[in-house]
Amino acid sequence: MPADRSLIVIGKITRPHGIRGELCVQYYAESYDYFDKNQVLLKIGKIPPKACVIKTYKEQGNMLILKIEGINSRTDAESYRNYELVITEQSLTDADLQALNEQEETETAPYLHQIIGCTAFVGNTPLGIIDEISFPAGQEIWFIHHEEQEILFPAVSNFIERYDLENNAVYLCPPPGLLEIYLEQPDKEKTVKRQPGTQTKNASQKDKVSIPQPPSRS
């Protein structure tokens, strides 16, 4: 494939589905035409993308279930975990091209693949890398990797200050109490001495804050 062809991420394989080689995919595009026209490539890391043939696809909840030619068992499917589904920019349908153009004209609605890999900031302080996006119960959740922790951040417009995609940065204004649940609790566990007959305060005893529950990531 020529090096000057831009690739657009339209989905990401998250895990195997069943025992016959089917795959669960987070799908970002508007159209499924790419499957019927055999325009989808598989890519991971810096390895050159490879062509694939999508045999079947179906929606299941918030996920898409794919059957790719040559992947016939759960063991085969495991080796494709975290692969991205990509297409060339020239393959974009009119609907997806229009969506891409609209998103380039406004900072408020970037493609999901543009957000993954960005550094999340609160003010001028880096919080961590956005390494995954999921949709449990239809709500967009960003997984932000902070040191040894993973912060589940609800991607609500009120909590997002601005996007700086040129510099791979997203600036957040999180609701009160959200980050403290993830960042302060380990220190408290280290410093609070437990007395006989008492209990240390845990997250469930804090002031209640509406935060997402992590989806199953089997």
The CATH code of the domain that includes 28 is 2.40.30.60
Query: Does residue 152 register a pLDDT over 90?
Result: yes
On whether both 38 and 70 belong to a single domain, the answer is yes
Q: How many domains does the chain have?
A: 2
Query: Does residue 218 register a pLDDT over 80?
Result: no
Contacts 24+ apart (CB under 8 A), 28-34: 28/111, 28/112, 28/113, 29/93, 29/96, 30/93, 30/95, 30/96, 30/99, 31/93, 31/95, 31/96, 32/57, 33/93, 34/10, 34/87, 34/91, 34/93
On whether both 27 and 63 belong to a single domain, the answer is yes
Percent of residues, the chain, with pLDDT higher than 70? 76
On whether both 18 and 78 belong to a single domain, the answer is yes
Query: Does residue 15 register a pLDDT over 80?
Result: yes
Mean pLDDT of 199-209: 38
On whether both 20 and 86 belong to a single domain, the answer is yes
**Selected residue with higher pLDDT from 79 and 214:** 79
Q: How confident is the model at residue 2 (pLDDT cuts 50, 70, 90)?
A: very low
pTM of this structure: 0.48
Task: Give residue 66's domain range.
Answer: 7-91
Q: What residue type is 139 in one-letter code?
A: Q
Q: Of all helices (H) and strands (E), which one includes residue 56?
A: strand 54-60
On whether both 63 and 132 belong to a single domain, the answer is no
On whether both 54 and 123 belong to a single domain, the answer is no
**Selected residue with higher pLDDT from 16 and 105:** 16
Could you give the C-alpha distances from 176 to 45, 179, 209, in angstroms and in order? 36, 8, 8
On whether both 180 and 143 belong to a single domain, the answer is yes
Query: Does residue 121 register a pLDDT over 90?
Result: yes
- Residue 204 belongs to a domain: no
Mean pLDDT of 123-144: 90
Mean pLDDT of 94-119: 73
The contacts of residue 58 (CB under 8 Å, 6+ apart) are: 64, 65
Lowest mean pLDDT among 6-15, 36-45, 104-113, 168-177: 104-113
On whether both 74 and 150 belong to a single domain, the answer is no
- Residue 160 belongs to a domain: yes
- Residue 81 belongs to a domain: yes
What torsion, rounded to 10 degrees, do the Cα atoms 203, 207, 213, 214 define?
A: -40
Query: Does residue 69 register a pLDDT over 80?
Result: yes
- Residue 165 belongs to a domain: yes
Average pLDDT of the chain is 80
Of 58, 91, 124, which closes a domain? 91
- Residue 130 belongs to a domain: yes
Q: How many CB atoms lie within 10 A of CB 43?
A: 15
Percent of residues, the chain, with pLDDT higher than 90? 44
Give the pLDDT score at 105. 54
Query: Does residue 194 register a pLDDT over 60?
Result: no
On whether both 176 and 121 belong to a single domain, the answer is yes
Q: Of all helices (H) and strands (E), which one includes residue 183?
A: helix 178-183
Determine the Cα–Cα distance for residues 6 and 138; give it in Å rounded to an integer: 30
Phi and psi, residue 211, nearest 5°: -130, 155
**Selected residue with higher pLDDT from 194 and 70:** 70
**Selected residue with higher pLDDT from 192 and 51:** 51
CA-only gyration radius of the chain, Å: 20
Mean pLDDT of 192-217: 43
- Residue 37 belongs to a domain: yes
